[in-house]
Amino acid sequence: MSDLKEKRIKKLKRKRIWPSIVGLFVIAFVLIIVVVAILGMYIADMVDRKLHEGYKISCNVAEYVVQNLSDLSADELQKHIEFNDSINAIVVFDSNDEIVWSNSDTIPNIDNELIYTDESGMYQNNFCLILESDDKLIFEIDKENIRLSENLLNIVRYKEFLFDEDLLSRESHVPVVETKVWMVVNYDEYKVLVLNNISVVKSELFIIVATFIMMMLLTAVLVVYYILSIIGVAKSQKRITKILYTDMVTGGYNWLHFTKKGDKLLKKSKGIYKYAIVALRMEKYRSFCTCFGVKEGEELLEKIYSALKHTIKKKENLAHHDEADFGLMLMYTSEDDLTNRINSLYEYLGSVAPKIKIKFRFGVCMADDKDKEVDSLYNNATTALDLMPEDTDEKIASYDIEMKKQQLWERKVEDDMDKALVTKQFKLYLQPKYSTKDEKLAGAEALVRWIHPTEGFISPNKFIPIFEKNGFILQLDDYMLEEVALQQSKWQEEGKELFPISVNVSRAHFTRDDLAEHICGIVDKYNIPHNVIELELTESAFFDDKYVLIDTVKQLRDYGFIVSMDDFGAGYSSLNSLKELSIDVLKIDADFFRGTDSVERGMLIVSEVINLAKKLDMKIVAEGIENKEQVEFLTAQECDLIQGYYYAKPLPVEEFEEKYG
């Protein structure tokens, strides 16, 4: 699988569930911390405010008491001062820490006097306190000061508040939680201690508890919403994955799932299991669709997939690949075991559509320890499948070392071909054509040879089929045409006699509407006559788009080029092509002159073809001629030109010039 495709798939599947779950716990934890923090700040502010209000009242009381200390009694204090409900007692100390006045038996221990620290900084007013008890519900004490407890939420005994009937029956102003605190006020030379009661009443506790419950409910709603979002993401991810891995024809798993799962199985096997990748192909699927319809064809593929699925084991793999091809990943113990299983599959698949005769073929590639990519192995299996002869009765083809060598060779050819063209590794060879009248040179055919820097001489049959398959033949043909035009131009400048040199034009060229102009553009750069260039086309090109071919041939002849039909009689011979195409030269294929059992019949056909060509005003070239008897026969039949090893093999330009210069 390509890196780009892998990235796109990862992007589709990027949303994972576990980050959302972790996020849920983090958000819930943060929300609870925020709720507790806000509630704690509210309670701390409430207590802090009560303390400062109490201290303010205590300062007023201290001022009044000290100013009236000489004639003040408890009754007078009660009479003249409107006590706050939170004040319980007053004690006045002189500068020697002796009690000079008190209205209560409750006496504080002034040695426990500590500074109260306003950590919030809201009031910016610190003062001295003495705790009446060791109750640390609201305050914490260290060696130097008193501060609000970090555990202030403990005063919110909401469970007791919600379920304690005694608490619920109290008046709203009755304290629910309280702590006694002596406020220390220094006035003149006196120290006045006022005992305050810091309390939380029922109404205040109700507000705190209600706020807490509302905030927790809000937190719960957010958490539930987030959980539902996670469930939605999980369902969405499952739906995306299902779509991503579903084949639209069979409804089963598609090729992406096959490769992903297959690669994992190969990695996990570690030599414990032997795997074979099988390419299964239903023969003549298009013919089936033509006869019965595309819908019926897809329904048949669905039945085939279902049948195959019933035969697949847990640690095996199956998917529809393309058109009527399926990929299977089968475990096996021996090659015989695998062959028997494939034969059983073949018999079983025959029952899918019992009324219709369906043929299947299997390409097989064994996975070894080095092969870890299913795509590559399947490609090898399809290579074995494609190389099976069409007329064979065999139904299983195994990918072997020779096929692998061929694949490696094709890869090397494709890797080197562009550089070879630029560095002129493709060399022009010329094979002479002799006239039958005087047995003199009358023309030549341009042939290409590849002189590779490391591989040396490479025969055309080892690279031309590859170029025809990958389309590079178009560039090579243009290159050879230019080389021939360049050579003709050189000979023209040297004053040598020019003769026609034939150059192959592959059938792929005839997809161009401007082919004639394109060829003219190449040749005209060298200022040579068009009639010294002969353009050879194969008869098979007639069966692509004959109207384009006919029109292009006419244009080429109008431009003055010689047009010939190569390999006439090589398998596609049609008298209709001779009727439709106006060509100048007909080349009779060498196969007519080979063999021993049908020489006489071949010669008879050649004789009639020559007579027919003469009547159509065509020149005749016989190629592949290797002996004197063939030359004498063709001369007697008035064949125009002979090409073959009898006269000369293909020669490099330098040798050709030495011999015929």
Q: Name, in order, each residue with C-beta under 8 angstroms of 163's C-beta and a sequence gap of 6 or more.
A: none
Residues facing 191 on adjacent strands:
93, 186
Output the pLDDT for position 1. Answer: 47
Could you tell me what percentage of the chain is helix, strand and coil, using 3-state DSSP and rounding each to the nearest 5? Answer: 50, 20, 30
* Residue 14 reports pLDDT greater than 80: no
Query: How far apart are alpha carbons 584 and 492 in whole angstroms?
Result: 24
Q: Name, in order, each residue with C-beta under 8 angstroms of 612's C-beta and a sequence gap of 6 or more.
A: 578
Given the DSSP bridges, would you call strands 651-652 and 426-435 parallel, antiparallel or unpaired? antiparallel
Query: How far apart are alpha carbons 587 and 609 in whole angstroms?
Result: 10
Residues 165-186: pLDDT tens digits? 555 555 555 666 678 888 899 8
- Residue 260: how many CB atoms within 10 A of its CB? 18
pTM over 0.85: no
The residue written with tokens 């005994």 in the block is 157
Report the percent of the chain where pLDDT is more than 90.
Answer: 26
Rounded alpha-carbon distances, angstroms, from residue 183 to 174, 192, 419, 486, 603: 22, 8, 99, 116, 136
Report the percent of the chain where pLDDT is more than 70.
Answer: 84
Bigger pLDDT: 422 vs 541: 422
Among 148-162, 248-262, 336-350, name the one with the lowest average pLDDT: 148-162
Question: Which stretch of DSSP H or E encloses residue 301?
Answer: helix 294-311
CB 89 within 8 Å of CB 104 = yes
Question: Which stretch of DSSP H or E encloses residue 55?
Answer: helix 17-67
- Over the chain, what is the mean pLDDT? 82
Output the pLDDT for position 428. Answer: 94
CB 147 within 8 Å of CB 203 = no
Bigger pLDDT: 512 vs 157: 512
Residues 523-538: pLDDT tens digits? 999 999 999 999 998 7
* Residue 621 reports pLDDT greater than 50: yes
Query: How far apart are alpha carbons 214 and 250 in whole angstroms?
Result: 54
Output the pLDDT for position 64. Answer: 84
Confidence class of residue 160 from pLDDT cuts 50, 70 and 90?
A: very low
Among 7-16, 206-215, 506-515, 620-629, name the one with the lowest average pLDDT: 7-16
* Residue 513 reports pLDDT greater than 80: yes
Bigger pLDDT: 384 vs 126: 384
Output the pLDDT for position 127. Answer: 83
Bigger pLDDT: 468 vs 147: 468
Output the pLDDT for position 432. Answer: 94
* Residue 352 reports pLDDT greater than 70: yes
Among 334-348, 363-377, 555-569, name the one with the lowest average pLDDT: 363-377
Which stretch, 140-144, 434-438, 580-584, has highest mean pLDDT? Answer: 434-438
Confidence class of residue 161 from pLDDT cuts 50, 70 and 90?
A: very low
Q: SS3 sequence, 501-517?
A: EEEECCHHHHHCCCHHH
Output the pLDDT for position 136. Answer: 58
Confidence class of residue 83 from pLDDT cuts 50, 70 and 90?
A: low
Output the pLDDT for position 443. Answer: 92
Two tokens, residue 280: 């299964």
Output the pLDDT for position 103. Answer: 81
What average pLDDT does the segment 402-413 reach?
Answer: 86
Residue (of 218, 149, 211, 187) closest to 68 by Cα position: 187
Residues 244-298: pLDDT tens digits? 888 888 888 898 889 888 888 888 877 678 899 999 999 888 888 888 888 888 8
What average pLDDT does the segment 340-351 reach?
Answer: 89
Output the pLDDT for position 172. Answer: 56
Residue (of 573, 569, 658, 659) closest to 621 by Cα position: 569
